[in-house]
């Protein structure tokens, strides 16, 4: 045929002649360069002929393919490429049609070489930026075919790699070509994304396969070094980098599905890697969308195995850190709500041992330790999310979590029974753990905003729960709030150091806000510290936390008054151990003594009053001699040596209030105050919620609320004023309480001892009172109809002076009884 064309060359159109001339006699010779230049020149000077050139070239190419003359095929492609490069953008449009047809033809072939050739040309074409839109170009076939090539399972490993690489390159080309052109088939449509994304991930996934292949150093030229994995990663990054707001969802969904299908959440290394790539390459303002999708996926998977959920959650936490400030987006609380809900679900699963609580039919066996792992992962994730938030949102989040903690005083439904109790306890622990996680990352210089009253109240009421673990969490949380200069680690063990300068404490002067905070809340805090000290279930960790707490308050928040109060508090704690009303164990008592010694040792050195230091030092030395089991060094060890003879200790091993107030009074501290022993203000709430497990408290709670209110009101005005006022209020209320008790006692006595007549008389007096009240009511309810409003007010004003109405009736005395 070629020969025939040559014969009647003169009769053929010029462009056909030019095209024919670029093909050599022998395909081995390659493209005829000079003739190719002629063709290019012709095409440039007559761009309107380009489409015909293209059509003719493609016709020849298709013929050559079907006749297996691959040499000519390559030449035709080379010519096409050159023409494509040489021609101006405007004229390219029509030519492209036949170009794409040829590429498609090559891709349809079974020969890997032709597939690769076609892909390479396509990639070259993809890199040309066209400025004329093309209305009816469609890349469906290319997407399908390139995706298929990415999955190539050719027998020869080397060829397989090559085909996969060209598949990826081809996809990259399609993406480049279409992503910015709104007229073309939307590459972001699920039908394309569902092919492109899994194909890339599939290649990304096979790192080990690619590495085991490691080519011999001879072959490893620059070009061959690139593995499909790297290429796929680059392509994925490029794809995601171009994704606009509306497209993120379509791009991420296939990722999630792919990870599900290939069960890649469980070892989670790959999933984490994927999402790292995603988070780093996506436009930062869209990152919260990814987070949202992950959260949604977590919800959708709430019945999957714990390991899968744990994988998703860990990925989430990784992603959250990467996305940093933008990770949460507009729905902060929604994010935390989802996580907390998952936490709660997991607790349920672990307790019921089934994913379906209602029917109780468990199809899968739930492994408790896996659920535990999942819970830990969720808590960690909550922490990493929170750490990305600004301070004000962090406190919002903490308040939110706190509100979810089931407390006896809250309105949340509290299930009765053993299971409900257990569940509540677990929930409390988990939520407090999350809270701790958040509070660790929380940096707020202002205690007042960090710990708003409502939050503190709830937190402290959790501290009074029977559960030792919960108590410890509350302490830890408080410590992490108070510790703003990272001093906490320095006090993680209790000891009596002779020189605190070795600790290199970072101390800042207590700010005005802190002073206000302490004025407002110090008594509440101290009361709780006192009460926690009394708990029998305390272990070493509790004492350590208590110690840290006391010390940190002294460092961070103390002014003179607070220091005085702290000393009083510690002395009162010493008294707990001394008097031992609550029948504490020897260990508890020794621990309290040791705690006191350690704290007083520290505070004495902090406030640097020589006489005070001396007293403390003396007592500690005395203890070292006489009773080493009262010092932290002996108590807080693995096998504490305890003494049973705690009740027969000499006075010299104790710290004495009188002595301390004397020495401190000399240095300008308020000695009056120092000499008054600390008496905790036990509110009704404390008495009630103490020792109560949550299940039983609902009914009591109503009572507590109503009884508490007057006292709270009473305290409210004092809050704004000075410390003295507060003190007075406290003392007063003690007095009031004392009087009240006395009065009650009298009443009881009277009723027990007095003769019947006397009681009857007393009641008679009350009967008249009742009578008058009734009158009053009758007046108000029965009179009004005809009277104008004036009379009514009068009636309110002096009800006693009204004449007795006719219908008034004396109640017989007996009714009263």
* Residue 110 is a binding residue for other proteins (CB under 8 A): yes
Q: Which of 580, 556, 553 is nearest to 569 (CA)?
A: 553
Residues 119-138 interacting with other proteins (rule: CB under 8 A): 136-138
Structure tokens at 258: 């792919």
Give whichever of 189 and 724 is closer to other proteins, judged by the CB atom.
Answer: 189
* Residue 32 is a binding residue for other proteins (CB under 8 A): no
Give whichever of 123 and 602 is closer to other proteins, judged by the CB atom.
Answer: 123
List 242, 258, 344, 484, residue binding other proteins (CB under 8 A): 258
**Residue 650 and residue 664 in contact, taking contact as beta carbons nearer than 8 Å:** no
Q: Where would I find the H helices in 500-585?
A: 512-533, 540-552, 560-579
List 69, 151, 237, 534, residue binding other proteins (CB under 8 A): 151
List 36, 126, 150, 590, residue binding other proteins (CB under 8 A): 150
List 82, 199, 394, 487, residue binding other proteins (CB under 8 A): 199
CB atoms within 10 A of CB 754: 13
* Residue 297 is a binding residue for other proteins (CB under 8 A): no
- What is the rounded CA–CA span in Å between residue 45 and residue 49? 9
Binding segment for other proteins (CB under 8 A), chosen from 139-147, 222-230, 590-598, 605-613, is 139-147
CB neighbour burial string for 132-148, b if at least 16 within 10 angstroms, e if fewer = eebeebebeebbebbbe
Give whichever of 72 and 385 is closer to other proteins, judged by the CB atom.
Answer: 72
* Integer CA distances (angstroms), 48 to 101, 102, 219, 261, 303, in order: 19, 20, 46, 51, 63
Structure tokens at 746: 């009298």
* Residue 140 is a binding residue for other proteins (CB under 8 A): yes
* Residue 263 is a binding residue for other proteins (CB under 8 A): yes
- What is the rounded CA–CA span in Å between residue 74 and residue 95? 18
* Residue 156 is a binding residue for other proteins (CB under 8 A): no
CB atoms within 10 A of CB 483: 22
* Residue 185 is a binding residue for other proteins (CB under 8 A): yes
Give the residue carrying structure tokens 């999310």: 385
Provide the minimum distance between the beta carbon of 175 and other proteins in the complex, in angstroms, as a whole number.
15
* Residue 811 is a binding residue for other proteins (CB under 8 A): no
- What is the rounded CA–CA span in Å between residue 574 and residue 79? 97
* Residue 285 is a binding residue for other proteins (CB under 8 A): no
- What is the rounded CA–CA span in Å between residue 386 and residue 437? 9
List 12, 38, 262, 617, residue binding other proteins (CB under 8 A): 262
- What is the rounded CA–CA span in Å between residue 269 and residue 396? 33
Residues whose CB is less than 8 angstroms from the CB of residue 397 and which lie 6 or more positions away in sequence, other chains included: 332, 333, 336, 386, 389, 438
List 32, 46, 55, 642, residue binding other proteins (CB under 8 A): 55
Provide the minimum distance between the beta carbon of 701 and other proteins in the complex, in angstroms, as a whole number.
53
**Residue 463 and residue 529 in contact, taking contact as beta carbons nearer than 8 Å:** no
* Residue 141 is a binding residue for other proteins (CB under 8 A): yes
Give whichever of 185 and 366 is closer to other proteins, judged by the CB atom.
Answer: 185
List 191, 214, 746, 768, residue binding other proteins (CB under 8 A): 191
List 46, 159, 257, 730, residue binding other proteins (CB under 8 A): 257
**Residue 536 and residue 577 in contact, taking contact as beta carbons nearer than 8 Å:** no
**Residue 233 and residue 204 in contact, taking contact as beta carbons nearer than 8 Å:** yes
Binding segment for other proteins (CB under 8 A), chosen from 254-262, 533-541, 735-743, 751-759, is 254-262
Q: Which of 500, 489, 494, 493 is nearest to 602 (CA)?
A: 500
Give whichever of 115 and 409 is closer to other proteins, judged by the CB atom.
Answer: 115
* Residue 97 is a binding residue for other proteins (CB under 8 A): yes
- What is the rounded CA–CA span in Å between residue 103 and residue 64? 13
Q: Total binding residues for other proteins by CB under 8 A? A: 44
| Sequential DSSP letters for 269-281 | HHHHHHHHHHHHH
Provide the minimum distance between the beta carbon of 174 and other proteins in the complex, in angstroms, as a whole number.
10
Provide the minimum distance between the beta carbon of 192 and other proteins in the complex, in angstroms, as a whole number.
8
Give whichever of 198 and 311 is closer to other proteins, judged by the CB atom.
Answer: 198
List 23, 72, 139, 473, residue binding other proteins (CB under 8 A): 139
Binding segment for other proteins (CB under 8 A), chosen from 32-40, 195-203, 534-542, 649-657, is 195-203
Provide the minimum distance between the beta carbon of 144 and other proteins in the complex, in angstroms, as a whole number.
7
* Integer CA distances (angstroms), 765 to 176, 758, 759, 772, in order: 98, 11, 10, 11
Q: Which of 690, 457, 729 is nearest to 582 (CA)?
A: 690
* Residue 326 is a binding residue for other proteins (CB under 8 A): no
Phi, psi of 362 (to 5 degrees): -95, 120
Give whichever of 72 and 636 is closer to other proteins, judged by the CB atom.
Answer: 72
Give whichever of 143 and 478 is closer to other proteins, judged by the CB atom.
Answer: 143
- What is the rounded CA–CA span in Å between residue 517 and residue 209? 62
* Residue 20 is a binding residue for other proteins (CB under 8 A): no
Binding segment for other proteins (CB under 8 A), chosen from 184-192, 381-389, 568-576, 800-808, is 184-192
Give whichever of 144 and 643 is closer to other proteins, judged by the CB atom.
Answer: 144
- What is the rounded CA–CA span in Å between residue 253 and residue 249? 6
Give whichever of 62 and 503 is closer to other proteins, judged by the CB atom.
Answer: 62
Structure tokens at 716: 């409210």
* Residue 247 is a binding residue for other proteins (CB under 8 A): no
* Residue 58 is a binding residue for other proteins (CB under 8 A): yes
- What is the rounded CA–CA span in Å between residue 130 and residue 134? 9
Provide the minimum distance between the beta carbon of 164 and other proteins in the complex, in angstroms, as a whole number.
10
List 153, 699, 752, 798, residue binding other proteins (CB under 8 A): 153
CB atoms within 10 A of CB 553: 24
Give whichever of 60 and 488 is closer to other proteins, judged by the CB atom.
Answer: 60
Give the residue carrying structure tokens 């110090």: 522
The residues of the shown chain that bind other proteins, judged by CB under 8 A, are 55, 58-59, 62, 66, 96-101, 103-104, 108, 110, 136-142, 144-145, 147-148, 150-153, 185, 190-191, 194-195, 198-199, 202, 254, 257-258, 261-263
């Amino acid at each position: 045929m070629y020969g025939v064309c040559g014969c009647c060359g003169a009769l053929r159109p010029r462009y056909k002649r030019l095209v024919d001339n670029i093909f050599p006699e022998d395909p081995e010779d390659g493209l005829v360069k000079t003739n190719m230049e002629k063709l290019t020149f012709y095409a440039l000077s007559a761009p309107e002929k380009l489409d015909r050139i293209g059509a003719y070239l493609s016709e020849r190419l298709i013929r050559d393919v079907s006749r297996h003359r691959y040499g000519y095929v390559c030449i035709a492609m080379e010519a096409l490429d050159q023409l494509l490069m040489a021609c101006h953008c405007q004229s390219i449009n029509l030519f492209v049609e036949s170009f794409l047809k040829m590429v498609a033809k090559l891709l349809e072939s079974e020969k890997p070489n032709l597939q690769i050739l076609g892909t390479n040309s396509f990639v070259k074409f993809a890199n040309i930026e066209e400025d004329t839109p093309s209305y009816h170009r469609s890349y469906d076939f290319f997407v399908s075919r390139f995706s298929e090539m990415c999955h190539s399972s050719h027998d020869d490993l080397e060829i397989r790699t090559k085909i996969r690489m060209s598949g990826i390159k081809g996809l990259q080309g399609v993406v480049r070509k279409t992503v910015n052109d709104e007229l073309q088939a939307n590459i972001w449509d699920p039908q394309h994304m569902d092919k492109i994304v899994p194909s890339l991930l599939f290649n990304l996934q096979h790192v080990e396969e690619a590495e085991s292949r490691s080519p011999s150093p001879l072959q490893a030229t620059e070009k061959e070094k690139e593995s499909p994995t790297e290429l796929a990663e680059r392509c994925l990054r490029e794809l995601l980098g171009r994704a606009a707001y509306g497209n993120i969802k379509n791009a991420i969904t296939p990722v999630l599905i792919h990870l599900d299908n290939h069960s890649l959440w469980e070892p989670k290394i790959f999933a984490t890697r994927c999402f790292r790539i995603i988070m780093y390459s996506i436009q930062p303002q869209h990152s919260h969308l990814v987070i949202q999708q992950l959260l949604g996926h977590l919800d959708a998977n709430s019945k999957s195995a714990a390991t899968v959920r744990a994988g998703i959650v860990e990925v989430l936490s990784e992603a959250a850190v990467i996305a940093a400030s933008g990770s949460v987006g507009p729905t902060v609380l929604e994010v935390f709500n989802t996580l907390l809900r998952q936490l709660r679900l997991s607790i349920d699963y672990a307790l019921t041992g089934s994913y379906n609580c209602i029917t109780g039919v468990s199809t899968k066996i739930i492994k408790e330790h896996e659920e535990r792992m999942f819970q830990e992962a969720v808590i960690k994730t909550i922490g990493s999310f929170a750490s990305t938030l600004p301070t004000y949102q962090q406190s919002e989040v903490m308040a939110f979590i706190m509100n979810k903690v089931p407390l006896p005083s809250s309105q949340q439904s509290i299930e009765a029974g053993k299971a409900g109790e257990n569940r509540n306890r677990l929930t409390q622990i988990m939520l407090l753990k999350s809270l701790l996680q958040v509070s660790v990352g929380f940096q707020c210089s202002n205690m007042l905003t960090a710990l708003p009253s409502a939050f503190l109240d709830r937190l402290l009421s959790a501290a009074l729960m029977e559960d030792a673990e919960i108590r410890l969490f509350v302490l830890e949380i408080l410590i992490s709030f108070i510790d703003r200069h990272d001093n906490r680690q320095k006090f993680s063990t209790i000891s009596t150091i002779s020189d605190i300068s070795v600790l290199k404490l970072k101390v800042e002067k207590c700010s005005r806000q802190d002073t206000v905070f302490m004025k407002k809340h110090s008594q509440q805090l101290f009361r709780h510290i006192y009460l926690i000290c009394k708990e029998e279930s305390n272990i070493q960790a509790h004492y350590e936390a208590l110690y840290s707490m006391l010390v940190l308050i002294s460092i961070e928040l103390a002014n003179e008054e607070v220091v005085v109060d702290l000393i009083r508090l510690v002395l009162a704690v010493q008294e707990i151990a001394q008097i031992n009303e609550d029948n504490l164990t020897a260990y508890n008592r020794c621990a309290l003594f040791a705690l006191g010694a350690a704290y007083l040792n520290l505070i004495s050195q902090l406030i640097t009053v020589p006489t005070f230091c001396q007293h403390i030092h003396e007592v500690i030395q005395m203890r070292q001699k006489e009773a080493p089991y009262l010092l932290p060094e002996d108590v807080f060890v693995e096998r504490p040596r305890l003494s049973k003879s705690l009740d027969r200790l000499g006075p010299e091993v104790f710290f004495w209030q009188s002595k301390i107030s004397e020495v401190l009074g000399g240095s300008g501290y308020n000695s009056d105050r120092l000499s008054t022993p600390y008496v905790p203000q036990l509110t009704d709430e404390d008495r009630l919620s103490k020792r109560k497990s949550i299940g039983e408290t609902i009914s009591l709670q109503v009572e507590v609320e109503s009884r508490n209110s007057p006292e709270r009101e009473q305290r409210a005005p004092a809050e704004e004023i000075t410390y003295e006022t507060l003190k007075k209020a406290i003392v007063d209320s003690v007095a009031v309480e004392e009087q009240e008790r006395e009065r009650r006692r009298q009443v009881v006595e009277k009723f027990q001892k007095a003769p019947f007549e006397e009681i009857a008389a007393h009641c008679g007096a009350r009967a008249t009172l009742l009578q008058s009240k009734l009158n009053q009511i009758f007046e108000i309810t029965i009179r009004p109809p005809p009277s104008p409003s004036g009379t009514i007010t009068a009636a309110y004003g002096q009800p006693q002076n009204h004449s007795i109405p006719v219908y008034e009736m004396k109640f017989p005395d007996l009714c009263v009884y």
